[in-house]
Structures are given as C-alpha cells and as structure tokens.
Structure 1
Amino acid sequence: MTDVDRRTIIATSAGAFMSSLIPVAASAAIDPAPVGKPGDFDFLTGEWRIHNRFREGEKWIEFPGEATVFAILGGIASVEELRIPARGFSGMGLRLLDVEKRIWSDHWVNAKSGVVAVPGQLGVFENGVGTFLSEGEGEKGPELYRGVWDRITPTSCRWFQGTSRDGGKTWDDSWFMDWTRVC
C-alpha cells in the first residue's frame, strides 16, 4: 500500500469517527480553555524513533519504539501509528479538533482490540505544552489521567502520562516517551 492510499484510508476513517466521537468526549467533566486551533499537532507529522521509559510495579523498564504520524483534514486531525516491536505492542492515536469548541480530543486504538477509546482525553496547547485530561474509576476510587506533550522542537518532543488520585493536586507519572525525528 502506498503512502497516498494509506493517507486516503486514514482521512476517510478519521472523518467518519469525528462526528461521533467529539460530542461524547466533549461531555466529559474535564473543561480545558477553548484555545485549540488547526495545526496544533503539525509538529508531530513525520517518522519518529521513540525511547520509552515505563514503570511496571516498582521497576522502570526501557525499550525502543517508532511512530508514523500524518496531519490530515487541514490540520484538525492527527493520526499516529505507534509500533513497539520489543513489547509486541502497536496502536493508533487519533487526535481531533472540535473546531467549534476549540478543544482537542485524543483517542487511542489498541491493535489487539481495534476499539476506539471513548471518551478520549481532552486538552489544548498553551505556552508550547499540550495537556490532555480524562476521568476514570481506579481500584481505589476516582482518578484523573493526564497526557502531556512538551519539550517540542523541530527534531524532538516528549510525551508522558500520569495518574492523580487527589483531584490533580499530585501526579504519579509512569510512562515517558522521548521522540526523535527520523524525517
């Protein structure tokens, strides 16, 4: 399959999902400032090598990964194919801008299930940092989940995720991904 064919399939799929996913995600209790704009995720377009640092229990493990990312639909959608062969893991990130509300939603599809995670995290970029939040129920009660894009340059960026069990006062960050552009 050529890149053009792949982009056509991705654009068609993202457009079909967009109308059904955004209203559900936008109803979440997380309420970012309405400052999102087309192109916020353009920095991520391209081919990447990724150094992962992930906590399993009390132990930190490190492993390589790679990703291919396309900006589509005039910059209101970003589609990421993440591959981590060392862990037998792959999936797709689907980021969509609700143009009217000016808020991004960030969804995940695990290749093992093929199911789009709904609701996704909601967020925006402010001062060069993208912060995305969602709510859920953990083993010990309500939790907040946070994904952050920072350290963004033309050749690198970082994403990390964490969990808060105290309403966002403190965060337990458990996965760090340092991205380096290949092309």
Structure 2
Amino acid sequence: MNEDRRGLLAATAAAALAAVAGPAKAQESETPAGPPPGTPEGNPGDFDFLTGEWRIHHRWRSGPQSAEWLEFDGEATVVGILGGICSVEELRIPARNLFGMGLRLLDQERNVWQDHWVNKNSGVVAAPGEYGGFTNGVGTWSSIYDQDGVTMISQGIWDEITPTSTRWRQRISADNGATWQETWIMHWRRA
C-alpha cells in the first residue's frame, strides 16, 4: 500500500473525527436516537479485514423500483486507526463521478459501530446513517427511516469475507423485514 496515501487518509480521518466531535451542544442536538433494537455488538478490530487497497465491481439498481442493474468498476483505500475502533475508506468510482469517504467508528459505550459518509461534493460528515456489528462473520448495519409515510429499513451487509475478497450489499424493506430488495452489490478484490 502506498504509505503517502495511507498517511493522507489517516490525516483526513483525524480532521473528519474533529468535525464529528464538534462543540458538545451541537453534537447533542444532532445525535440520532441510536441503533435499532437487536443491533449486533461491535468490537475493536472488526474492520481489520478491510484495511488495504481494493478493486471493486459494482452492481447498482438504476432506481428503487427498477429491475435494471447498472455495472461499473471502482476502487478503495482503507485504513484502520485508533487501535481498531476506526476504519476510514476512500471510495473512488470515476465511472459514476462518485468520490467519498466512509468513516466507521466504534461507539465504545454502546459497543456498536456507526457508519458515516462524506461526499466529496459537500465535504460534510453525515450523522451515522447505519448502526451495526458482526455476528458469525457477517456484519449487518441497519437504519430505519420514513419514506412517503412508509417506515423503511435499510441494511448494509458485509459477508463472504476472505483474506483477498469480500462482498458488501445494500438492501431495503418496506414491510418490516418480511421481504427485501437488494439495491447495490459490491464485490471487493484486493489490489
């Protein structure tokens, strides 16, 4: 892995962490309610498998109700810092003009991972969109939100983890988890 890129990514993560911490009053008013019930417990080092350089093949639905899948390639650099309680991902998808940073932080008081996103276009660290952890080698991150009066569940799932590959997929449910629709699948291979 390019040490300059790793150092730059770690420095960027430190700046993002400072932005997330912000003034105590602002943080209190903007902190979401927390993880959904039944969220798996997180542990330091859970994301050690992801540290390194990756090539990623994406399959992405062109719309929420669409049957059409778009396919494109991208890459990522991931660095673990702070003794395994932070994983920083720089995601690059030139074909879709998408560049951003995933920031995964272990809330050690609640033992749950928070997943933040920073889009290159805004530069703003988003509040945690999903909370989760790993059970039996599968990581599940969930969030609950309202869409046009319907309670939706979104999940991001890390599975098929090996030393040289992994898969991340996103799925949504409009019926409290009875049925799911996959919306994005990423096949990761070590560079």
> How does the TM-score come out when normalised to structure 1?
0.89
In 1, distance between residues paired with 2:100 and 2:10?
A: 18
Q: 5+ unaligned residues in a row in structure 2: which ranges?
A: none
| Aligned twin of 1:16 | 18
Query: Is 1:53 aligned to 2:59, yes or no?
Result: yes
1:106 pairs, out of 94, 100, 115, with: 115
- Establish whether residue 37 from structure 1 lines up as the match of residue 43 from structure 2: yes
Counterpart code for 2:8: R
Q: Distance in 2 between matches of 1:19 and 1:135?
A: 23
Alignment match of 1:128 (pick from 134, 137, 155) = 137
Structure 1 pair 68/95, CA: closer, same or farther in 2 (3 Å)? same
Q: CA RMSD in A?
A: 2.2
1:41-83 deviation digits (Å, cap 9, x = unpaired): 1110000000001111331111001000000111000000000
Moved more, 57-66 or 108-117: 108-117
- Equivalent residues of 1:80, 1:94 under 8 A apart: yes
Structure 1 pair 140/59, CA: closer, same or farther in 2 (3 Å)? farther
Work out whether residues 32 and 103 of structure 1, in 8 Å CA contact, stay in contact via their aligned partners in 2: no
The percent of aligned pairs where both chains have the same amino acid is: 52
Measured in 2, the distance between the counterparts of 1:17 and 1:31 equals 28
Contact 1:18 1:96 in 2 (8 A): no
Aligned residue pairs, count: 181
Aligned counterparts of 2:39 and 2:151: Cα–Cα separation in 1: 23
Distance of 1:35 and 1:85 partners within structure 2: 35
In the superposition, the TM-score normalised over structure 2's length comes to 0.86
Amino acid of the residue matched to residue 42 of structure 2? Answer: G
